[in-house]
Amino acid sequence: MLEKKEILDVEKVIRDFEVMTKDAEKVQRETLRMILEENGCAEYLQNLGLNGRTDPESFKACVPLVTHKDLEPCIQRVADGAFSPILTGKPITTISISSGTTQGKPKFVPFNDELMETTLQIFRTSFAFRNKEFPIENGRALQFIYSSKQIKTKGGLFAGTATSNVFRNSQFRKAMKAMQSECCSPDEVIFGPDFHQSLYCHLLCGLIFHEEIQLVSSTFAYSIVLAFRTFEQVWEELCDDIREGILTSRITFPSVRSAMAKLLKPNPELADLIEKKCSGLSNWYGLIPELFPNVKYIYGIMTGSMEPYLKKLRHYAADVPLISADYGSSEGWIGANINPSLPPESATYAVLPNIGYFEFIPLKENVEEHMQDSGNVSFLSMEPKPVDLTEVRVGEEYEVIITNFGGLYRYKLGDVVKVMGFRNSTPELKFVCRRNVMLAINIDKSTEQDLQLAVEEATKLIAKEKLEVIDFSSNVDVSTDPGHYVIFWEISGEVSDEVLTECCNCLDRSFVDGGYVSSRKVDAIGPLELRVVRRGTFQKILDHYLGLGTALSQFKTPRCVGPTNNKVLQILCDNVAKNYFSTAF
Ligand code: AMP
């Protein structure tokens, strides 16, 4: 008998979304009430004197804003197996390990069924909107997804990256089937113990099912670029495997080998076809549609720290649309991309008002306004009061605060977002940057976005020579007097000293923060230094994070390496091939 396939009713998902966002304020109150009722017996809330109250006003009066550091002792007790309810009413059975790429060390956060459900709600919502504009047929998805090692905490809880917790959940596979986006690789590949081997096998599976592939995706765009860069190196080996029907000896894990053996049959025609296609490409332009003729789009988070990979992704994609995936974190989801036809650079995320209770700390302009209103100088040192979801204003920037079903209450996520508009009464947010990724020496404050823009500008100079910056990072060097910014670049080939000196000057001139420019002019900040690192340096950084338990699916290159991240700084500094100082000021 044929298996009955449950297909997602996209019209219903869209209708539900429209209804729910009509009165987002009411849904937010109701969501907060449910969170506090379900978890009111948890020790954390009990100690704050809410006494059963569930309204936003009492909640804000009693519950402080916190960071991960504040909650760490509570989360550790949960991980250690504390018997009583600490953060949530129901016991937490799983821990998510965040990538920790910005702070340098992975963080523990609780994960539970409710967070799984909100994950699926986000996936379904964006899929429904996406599928209306870019319908996919019943095929397969080439998904570059990887699981981290699952460990057990002292208290016996399972701990893995948030994405691994999602991929392992039986609901995930069901949901992917309903969205006609089932991964073409077997579980043994996704959960394989070595990401290099998994990546090779994902590519091989993609080629075996090349005509069926409807979309190419990963959690973050970085992994897609990494996959096709790897393809450039291993394509001949992949063709050999397909021709002979025998898997390369580089795949050593028996479970992965036997799963792949079930798919791999000798297919010389396919091997010839791929060889012909690859040989016909110019500098791998349009590789993705060439290999997968029925691909409808490429999907993954493409905003924020992923933007620098877009150029390379477009090169591989040619005219296949790039669609940014949703906005969330190990701590919980925030919004879905309901405007899939916008290019990734303009992607926004509509907040789903029933997946958590959201507040927003106004930044920049609002702060000045508050200061003028108060006329009080001491107010200068205070952070403005957070506003509610429906009180945010278009065009303004905020830090996101999450309260959710996973035991986080008024948790400062550390992300900066800008409100671009409203869908019904819920805001559509653009991701701006991490709040704490900042280069600062004097009165300057250069954000992750400032750094990205400066690098984008300077890379134009090497693009003329058909070269690219594979990856980059930065730090502030205060061992010199005055201190100065250091930018690390890994480049795809040899560039002359002359051009690199020009790049260095361009970087220095492209930091637009007023504090930076004025400090440079009076030499309160020294000349910017460009350090070119050897090929493979950023791979070493990735390996370092994978060793700490991060999964490739969630990896983000640390853009600014702070003093707490000395291992990464050491990798960068040990691999410097050349350095240049700016003469721009
Ligand atoms: P992690 O908890 O390690 O998965 O990292 C979550 C962080 O990734 C978020 O706090 C954001 O800084 C970043 N992130 C997640 N989704 C997006 C997105 N759609 N655009 C830009 N950055 C994102």
DSSP track, 480-521: SSS-EEEEEEEESS---HHHHHHHHHHHHHH---HHHHHHHH
329 ligand 1 Cβ < 6 A? yes
Q: Alpha-carbon distance 387 to 245, whole Å?
A: 60
Atom of ligand 1 nearest to the CA of 334: 16
The two tokens of residue 411 are 């948790």
Q: Which of 301, 358, 438 is the best mutation target for the ligand 1 pocket, counting ligand atoms within 8 Å of the beta carbon and taking the most?
A: 301
478 backbone dihedrals φ, ψ, rounded to 5°: -105, 10
DSSP assignment letter at 377: G
Atom of ligand 1 nearest to the CA of 324: 19
Give 47 Cα–ligand 1 centroid separation in angstroms.
31
Helix or strand (DSSP H, E) at 415 = strand 411-423
Q: Alpha-carbon distance 324 to 344, whole Å?
A: 5
Q: Which of 145, 322, 329 is the best mutation target for the ligand 1 pocket, counting ligand atoms within 8 Å of the beta carbon and taking the most?
A: 329
337 ligand 1 Cβ < 6 A? no
Q: Alpha-carbon distance 207 to 214, whole Å?
A: 13
303 ligand 1 Cβ < 6 A? yes
Give 421 Cα–ligand 1 centroid separation in angstroms.
21
Q: Alpha-carbon distance 306 to 471, whole Å?
A: 11
301 ligand 1 Cβ < 6 A? yes
CB 568 within 8 A of CB 544: yes
Instruction: Find tokens 């539970």 and name the residue.
Output: 112
Q: Alpha-carbon distance 460 to 93, whole Å?
A: 49
Counting other chains too, the contacts that 565-571 makes at CB distance below 8 Å and 24 or more residues apart are: 565/103, 565/104, 566/104, 567/104, 568/104, 568/473, 568/541, 568/544, 569/475, 571/537, 571/540, 571/541, 571/544
Written as one letter, the residue type at 300 is G
Q: Which of 326, 556, 557 is the best mutation target for the ligand 1 pocket, counting ligand atoms within 8 Å of the beta carbon and taking the most?
A: 556
The two tokens of residue 413 are 């996520």
Which distant-in-sequence residues (6+ apart) come within 8 Å of 435 by Cβ? 399, 414, 415, 416
Atom of ligand 1 nearest to the CA of 434: 12
Atom of ligand 1 nearest to the CA of 163: 4
Whose Cα sits closest to atom 20 in ligand 1? 303
Give 363 Cα–ligand 1 centroid separation in angstroms.
19
Q: In 3D, which of 509, 507, 497 has the Cα closest to residue 460?
A: 507
The answer, as to whether pTM is greater than 0.85, is: yes
Burial of 515 (0-12, 13-18, 19+ CB in 10 A): middle
558 ligand 1 Cβ < 6 A? no
Atom of ligand 1 nearest to the CA of 100: 3
Q: Using the CB atoms, write b or e for 67-103: b if 16+ within 10 Å.
A: ebeebeebbebbbeebeebbbbeeebebbbbbbbbbb
475 backbone dihedrals φ, ψ, rounded to 5°: -160, 175
Q: Which of 327, 337, 342, 358 is the best mutation target for the ligand 1 pocket, counting ligand atoms within 8 Å of the beta carbon and taking the most?
A: 327
Give 321 Cα–ligand 1 centroid separation in angstroms.
22
Q: How, if at all, do strands 322-324 and 158-161 pair? A: unpaired
Taking the alpha carbons at both ends of the chain, their separation in whole angstroms is 75
415 ligand 1 Cβ < 6 A? yes
Q: In 3D, which of 297, 300, 141, 125 has the Cα closest to residue 219?
A: 300
332 ligand 1 Cβ < 6 A? no
Q: In which residue ranges of the chain is pLDDT below 70?
A: 1-5, 100-105, 365-382
Give 484 Cα–ligand 1 centroid separation in angstroms.
28
Whether cis (ω within 30° of 0) applies to the bond prior to 527 is no
Q: Alpha-carbon distance 130 to 122, whole Å?
A: 12
The partner residues of 419 in beta bridges, in order of sequence, read 429
Burial of 58 (0-12, 13-18, 19+ CB in 10 A): middle
Give 327 Cα–ligand 1 centroid separation in angstroms.
6
DSSP SS3 for 447 = strand
Sheet holding 332-336: strands in order across?
Answer: 327-329, 332-336, 349-351, 426-434, 411-423, 397-403, 357-362, 387-388
CB 167 within 8 A of CB 190: yes
Alpha helices in 56-169 (DSSP H): 56-62, 68-79, 113-133, 162-168
Write down the pLDDT at residue 382.
Answer: 67
Give 46 Cα–ligand 1 centroid separation in angstroms.
31
Sheet holding 213-220: strands in order across?
Answer: 140-143, 213-220, 297-301, 322-324
327 ligand 1 Cβ < 6 A? yes
Atom of ligand 1 nearest to the CA of 330: 2
The partner residues of 298 in beta bridges, in order of sequence, read 216, 322
Atom of ligand 1 nearest to the CA of 337: 19
pLDDT in tens, 235-250: 999 999 999 999 999 9
- Three-point CA angle 324, 108, 86, nearest 5°: 120
Atom of ligand 1 nearest to the CA of 331: 2
428 ligand 1 Cβ < 6 A? no
Category of 156 on φ-ψ map: left (φ > 0), alpha (ψ -120 to 50) or beta: left
pLDDT in tens, 381-430: 467 899 999 999 999 999 999 999 999 999 999 999 999 999 999 999 99
Q: In 3D, which of 488, 510, 501 has the Cα closest to residue 462?
A: 501
Distances (CA, A) of 230 to 46, 79, 199, 284, 511: 52, 37, 8, 12, 33
* CA-only gyration radius of the chain, Å: 24
CB 513 within 8 A of CB 124: no
Whose Cα sits closest to atom 13 in ligand 1? 329
Q: In 3D, which of 274, 214, 216 has the Cα closest to residue 242?
A: 274
DSSP SS3 for 56 = helix
420 backbone dihedrals φ, ψ, rounded to 5°: -100, -20
Q: How many Cα atoms occupy the beta-carbon half-sphere of 172 within 13 Å? A: 16
Atom of ligand 1 nearest to the CA of 96: 2
109 ligand 1 Cβ < 6 A? no
Whose Cα sits closest to atom 19 in ligand 1? 327
Whose Cα sits closest to atom 9 in ligand 1? 329
DSSP SS3 for 408 = coil
449 ligand 1 Cβ < 6 A? no
Give 72 Cα–ligand 1 centroid separation in angstroms.
20
434 ligand 1 Cβ < 6 A? yes
